[in-house]
Structure 1
Amino acid sequence: MSKLENTLPPAAMPAPAKRFSRLRRLGKALIYAVPALALLSVLGNWLWMLSGSNRWELQSDADGVQVYTMKTPGSSALRVRGIATMKQFSLSNHIAPFLDESIQNNCAEWVQGCLGYRIVQPWDPRSGSIVTLWSVELFPPFTPREMLLLGQLRQDSATGVVTLENIAAPNKLPPNDNRVRLEHMHNVFRYTPQQDGAVKVEVLYDMDMGGGFPQWAQNLMAPMVVRQMLTKDIPRQLNQEKYRKARFGFLADPTLAKH
């Protein structure tokens, strides 16, 4: 035995047995803790599924934009509704991007992380419909998403209100092995012309990212996505000259006289 070892007090000497005992206790604790956490997670998810008032509840009201959320019992997803009144754009300005084929060349300017966009079935003015395919990149480790959408546009002849619905139509094309195609999406844009030439814009966000994407993350992000859409994204895009000059024969636009 070395002189140094001889000088160490008994308490400072290694204690393998004590260390092993502590590790064994830690292992036992983990054996009980992991199932307990899993059970709490399942219980929390079950309680969340059962919760909800099935009513729109105001989450934020700032910069002229109101954002509401609705939780329906039996659903894990929040639905989000955003409302803003935009005085600087006519009804025609708002509709123009829906029919803009050039977005196929620069879809990332419209949707963050967009990998591709193409028109599957061109705009049909008789049915007021169009079918489009979007591919969007997500952060790792999630696979990119595909949104195969039936777009439906209609105008109420009495009120002038225009409603644009984007509805998931996943079976209109064969699946792509390198993408997760959304099974549920029903986003609605409603445009109500005002007497002073403004347009009240209402956005209803209702979608499921699928493919194991955590629902809590989507619920957290969705209200922020809707708010940014109304405060920044839509005004920035509609300021382009090609949208400012847009006119459509099928659309009755009482707001044009004010712009």
Structure 2
Amino acid sequence: MATVIGTTGDSPSETIARPRSRLMRLLRLSTYLLAGLVLFIFLVNLLWKASGDNQWHLEFERNGVQVYSLKEPGTYNKRFRALTRTDYTLTHLVAGLIENATLDNCLNSIPDCVDLKVISPWDSKTMSDTVLWKLGLPAPFTAREIVIRSQVSQDPVSRAVTIDVIAAPNSAPRNPDAIRLTHVQNRWIYTPKENGQVEIEFIQDMDMGGTFPRFLLNLAGAEEVYKFIHDQLPQLLDKTELRGVRYDFIKEA
């Protein structure tokens, strides 16, 4: 009696070829889907970069802190701006910048800070200093180094104090174990108001560099700026040693 190979009469080679053909179709389909996904992501990024009206928009107001965001056409990252009022003096607020540039303060008061080096100490003639901060990031991201030059100025009429915090990436040798940030253009503005209060305005404009996802900065930026102003800043300022500091170059209103 003859042995039956297949109910349809297919040869063994045809029986093996069918699964291979289906596999090839699946591979081609996967390639098309992947190419389509890449194209979609590219178009979304292109549209996002072109978007924006260069205007500040209120994200939220919470516990006396207003947080705004601004998207400029041609850029990926949003800028963030926080406004609040405080009873600290102008001198106390400036001291929070100058006197807190220490390794102990870095390790104990700044989240993710793992190292600090003063590159150029505070100089009352240039009204500036340059400091290197090193921040640890969760895996798989590489640590970041931020070398910033802080420049202080005061308007002689309004007595408002402006502190420009600008990246100075070439002010210190590069560390192969960290990514050096090259775009930081932050600004503090302390403006005297009625009843002895001071308005604090903080503008954050920075890029984390490397492969750090920019959309995370855009999504979490407003909340992180709020936490910095509402939670971390008071810890940096509420120190007894800062209350007795006096500077000849800062005039109170």
- TM-score scaled by length of structure 2: 0.88
Correspondence for 2:67 = 67
Structure 1 equivalent of residue 239 of structure 2: 240
SS of the aligned residue for 2:170 comes to coil
- My pick for the range that moved more, 103-112 or 180-189, is 103-112
Q: Which residue of 1 aligns with 2:205?
A: 206
1:7 aligns with none
Is 1:131 the counterpart of 2:130 in the alignment? yes
Task: Tell me if 1:107 matches 2:106.
Answer: yes
SS in 2 for 1:174: coil
* 1:55-104 Cα shifts (integer Å, max 9, x gaps): 111111121111111111100010111100113x2222211121116622
Given that 1:101 and 1:119 are in contact with CA atoms closer than 8 Å, whether structure 2 keeps it comes out as no
TM alignment of 1:3-82, pairs within 5 A: 23-82=23-82
Secondary structure of the corresponding residue to residue 253 of structure 1? coil
Q: Distance in 2 between matches of 1:106 and 1:59?
A: 30
Give the superposition deviation at 1:138: 1.1
Letter in 1 for 2:74: G
In structure 1, C-alpha distance between the alignment counterparts of 2:100 and 2:110, rounded to whole Å:
15
Residue 175 (structure 1) shift: 1.5
CA apart distance, 1:222: 1.5
TM-superposition CA deviations, 1:120-160 (whole Å, max 9, x none) = 11111011010111111111111111111111011111111
Looking at structure 2, the residues matched to 112 and 222 of structure 1 have their Cα atoms a distance apart, in angstroms, of 15
Paired letter, 1:77: N
Q: Deviations over 1:186-243 (max 9, x none)?
A: 1101001112111100000000110111110111121112111221111222112112
Q: 1:118 to 1:101 in 2, by over 3 A?
A: farther
CA distance in 2, matches of 1:68, 1:165: 19
Instruction: State the shift of 1:115 in Å.
Output: 1.1
SS in 1 for 2:91: helix
Contact 2:160–2:190 (CA<8 Å) still a contact in 1? yes
Match runs of 1:159-178 below 5 Å? 159-178=158-177
What secondary structure, in the 3-state scheme, does the structure 2 residue paired with 1:250 have?
coil
Matched, 1:98 2:97: yes
CA contact (8 A) 2:113 2:134 kept: yes
Match of 2:7 in 1: none
State the aligned residue count: 239
- Aligned counterparts of 2:182 and 2:224: Cα–Cα separation in 1: 20
Q: C-alpha distance in 2, partners of 1:140/1:126?
A: 42
Q: Does 1:186 align with 2:180?
A: no
CA distance in 2, matches of 1:125, 1:165: 15
For residue 246 of structure 1, report the CA deviation from its aligned partner: 2.4
Runs of 4+ in 1 over 3 A off after TM superposition: 15-26
1:25 Cα offset (Å):
4.4
Which residue of 2 is the match for residue 249 of structure 1?
248
Q: Using the aligned pairs only, state the percent identity.
A: 35
Q: Return the alpha-carbon distance in structure 1 between the equivalents of residues 101 and 174 of structure 2.
A: 25
Query: Structure 1: which 5+ runs fail to align?
Result: 1-14, 255-259
8 Å Cα contact 2:59/2:67 also seen in 1: yes
CA RMSD of aligned residues (A): 1.9
Q: Which amino acid aligns with 1:207?
A: M
